[in-house]
Amino acid sequence: MATTSSANRNNSAVKRIMQEARELANDPSSDYTAAPSEDDIFEWHCTIRGPVGTEFEGGLYHLRILLPAEYPFRPPSLMVLTPNGRFELNTKICISFTNYHEELWQPAWGVRTAILGIQGFFPLKGQAAVGVGSVEYPSAERKRLAALSREWICPHCQQSNVELLPDPDASPESHLEPDVPSIATESVTSPSEATAESNMVNDGVPSLPNPAVIAAPQTISSFGSPVLLDALIGIILALVFALLFKRIL
């Protein structure tokens, strides 16, 4: 009987953990990444970004998260693996939602809550920073460790922090920017072609207007105003000539 009930509980924990893993994979953040280990769903590895505007800014820190068999009814344990100057390494951290304060944990919370919680604890000073697993390093040392942390490689994941959580602006799309003006000129010369092209790409599926197509009427109206000005100058010149001819005659 006991075996069946513990197996059921374990099964519900596995279901819940799988659900959280899917949710994290479908809605990723540029501030952290986390996934269960391939060999043990109860052990997660996670990389978090040091909070902006703190001595941990630019740093990337790797965490080991252990989920109990009774999860989510008992809280996860968190351990920081990357040298950081804020948390002791490989030590269960004492924060409100970890197993040091089990009574505060709520089953509705999840791995994401725990990650956001520890990220928030990085810059805290004074009483909030004191506890098991906490260390006080000078600011310069924390900054030095933050710079080193990016290339730190997890022996379990066998990848560096920066490989696991690349910087948001490091995407290859940013290199395409110089090409944008030439694309815009093409659409000005043939706005109808641009429309046809976008329709082909979208395959008849209604979508948001292509920015190039929106830009085209604006460029046409800017071409229109010099034409109007030319016509006005022509009329004025014609009037002036007419008056001059009248005087001569």
Mark whether 94 is an active-site residue: yes
Q: Is the peptide bond before 123 cis (omega within 30 degrees of 0)?
A: no
For residues 32 and 61, is the Cβ–Cβ distance under 8 A?
no
Q: How far is the CB of 210 from Zn ion (least distance, A)?
A: 42
Q: Name 61's bridge partners.
A: 48
Crossing angle (nearest 10°) for helices 180-189 and 191-202: 110
Site stretch for Zn ion (CB under 5 A), options 45-53, 86-94, 197-205, 229-237: 45-53
Q: Tokens in use for 21?
A: 């893993």
Q: 79 or 145: whose CB is closer to Zn ion?
A: 79
Residues of span 166-225 touching Zn ion by CB under 5 A? none
Q: 15 or 156: whose CB is closer to Zn ion?
A: 156
Residue of the chain from 45, 49, 142, 143 that contacts Zn ion (CB under 5 A): 45
Q: How far is the CB of 65 from Zn ion (least distance, A)?
A: 10
Q: 24 or 154: whose CB is closer to Zn ion?
A: 154
> How far apart are alpha carbons 45 and 47 in whole angstroms?
7
Q: How far is the CB of 156 from Zn ion (least distance, A)?
A: 4
Q: Which residue is nearest to Zn ion (CB)?
A: 154
Binding map of Zn ion across residues 119-158, x = CB under 5 A, - = no contact: -----------------------------------x-xx-
17 is an interface residue for Zn ion by CB under 5 A: no
Q: How far is the CB of 194 from Zn ion (least distance, A)?
A: 47
Q: How far is the CB of 46 from Zn ion (least distance, A)?
A: 8
Cα torsion 162, 163, 166, 170: sign: positive
> How far apart are alpha carbons 244 and 249 in whole angstroms?
9
The distance from CA 214 to its chain's CA centroid, rounded to whole angstroms, is 28
For 81, phi then psi, to 5°, come to -105, -25
> How far apart are alpha carbons 120 and 101 in whole angstroms?
17
Q: Which residues are catalytic?
A: 94
- Residues within the interface to Zn ion (CB under 5 A): 45, 154, 156-157
